[in-house]
Amino acid sequence: MINPVRIILVDDHHIVRDGIKVLLMNIPDIQVVGEASSGEELMQKMRSVPVDILIMDICMPGVSGIILTERLRTEYPQVRVIMLTAMTSEDHIMNSLKAGAFGYLPKDVRREELLEAIFTVSQGQEYLAQSLSARVLQKLIRHSRTPFSDREENILTNRELEIIEGFAEGFSYKEIADRLSISVRTVETHKMHIMEKLGLRSIADMVRYAIKHGIIEV
């Protein structure tokens, strides 16, 4: 007998999780073994619930699904993530794949394609929704034609460049906030967006990035 694919649903909307459970109901090779409404709740559940695949949203309270995927790749490398989200921009897709997601689906996906994605990912293969494949391919083509030095900075706002500069020069969150006349929470939000856009994991990575791209001088 083949073991069913064990799935945890990660979305802060209860009605969304209920809808996914209905779609997966009565599929003999799939078992929904848990739910979580945030990254914190998920990490607590992961300690006691064996799981193969996480079906996860990007936008959630606390850490985003992208940052959470990076953490899971280190702590639970055997678990595979399928993003199921309303966020379908090229940057969200590419950053999710960079973070280690095995699959990416829009929330209006049909049941048949959701099942196809689950079984494909359970076999260790990546799955990108058919409606998004062409968009990502175009992004990769444009990226390959762009000089390396221009690629990353084109996706950063002027404010994000200022945030990077502040961290690279050793300022604290509060010092950066005071310097730019914004709140500490806003600094934290900008930092999260920068990490997602550039695929960075720490402030040390941000400093190295700033030096490499001439944002600060050493």
Tell me the per-residue pLDDT of 154-184, one tens digit each, with 9 for 90 and over: 567 878 888 888 887 778 889 999 999 999 8
In a domain, 217, yes or no: no
Residues 20 and 117 placed together within one structural domain of the fold: yes
Contacts by residues 187-190 (CB-CB < 8 Å, ≥ 24 positions apart): 187/163, 190/159, 190/160, 190/163
In a domain, 216, yes or no: no
pLDDT band (50, 70, 90) for residue 141? very low
Domain hosting residue 173, numbered range = 148-211
More confident of the two residues 40 and 209: 40
Sheet holding 30-36, edge to edge: 30-36, 5-10, 53-56, 80-85, 103-106, 127-128
Question: What value does the mean pLDDT take over residues 39-54?
Answer: 94
In a domain, 65, yes or no: yes
Identify the burial level of 23 via C-beta atoms within 10 angstroms of its C-beta, where 0-12 means exposed, 13-18 middle and 19 or more buried: middle
More confident of the two residues 216 and 107: 107
Residue 3 DSSP class: P
pTM of the complete model: 0.65
Residues 53 and 129 placed together within one structural domain of the fold: yes
Q: Final residue of a domain: which of 93, 111, 141? A: 141
Q: Final residue of a domain: which of 122, 141, 160? A: 141
Question: What value does the mean pLDDT take over residues 65-92?
Answer: 90
In a domain, 113, yes or no: yes
Of 18-22, 72-76, 89-93, 145-149, which range is least confident?
145-149
pLDDT at 138 over 60: no
Q: pLDDT per residue over 3-18, tens digit each?
A: 899 999 999 999 999 9
60: which residues sit within 8 A by CB, 6+ positions away? 10, 11, 12, 37, 38, 39, 68
More confident of the two residues 193 and 10: 10
Q: Final residue of a domain: which of 109, 141, 173? A: 141
Scanning the chain, the segments in alpha helix (DSSP H) are 14-24, 39-46, 65-75, 90-99, 111-122, 130-145, 148-151, 158-168, 173-180, 184-198, 203-212
Question: What value does the mean pLDDT take over residues 90-94?
Answer: 80
Q: At what angle do helices 130-145 and 90-99 cross, to 10 degrees?
A: 90
Residues 169 and 122 placed together within one structural domain of the fold: no
Collapsed DSSP state (helix, strand, coil) of residue 59? coil
Q: pLDDT per residue over 94-124, tens digit each?
A: 788 888 889 999 999 999 999 999 999 999 8
Contacts by residues 198-205 (CB-CB < 8 Å, ≥ 24 positions apart): 198/152, 198/156, 199/95, 199/98, 199/99, 201/70, 203/167
Residues 35 and 114 placed together within one structural domain of the fold: yes
Measured CA to CA, the distance from residue 164 to residue 52 in angstroms comes to 36
pLDDT at 89 over 90: no
Task: Check residue 136 and give its pLDDT.
Answer: 62
Task: Give residue for tokens 């706002």.
Answer: 157
In a domain, 127, yes or no: yes
147: which residues sit within 8 A by CB, 6+ positions away? none
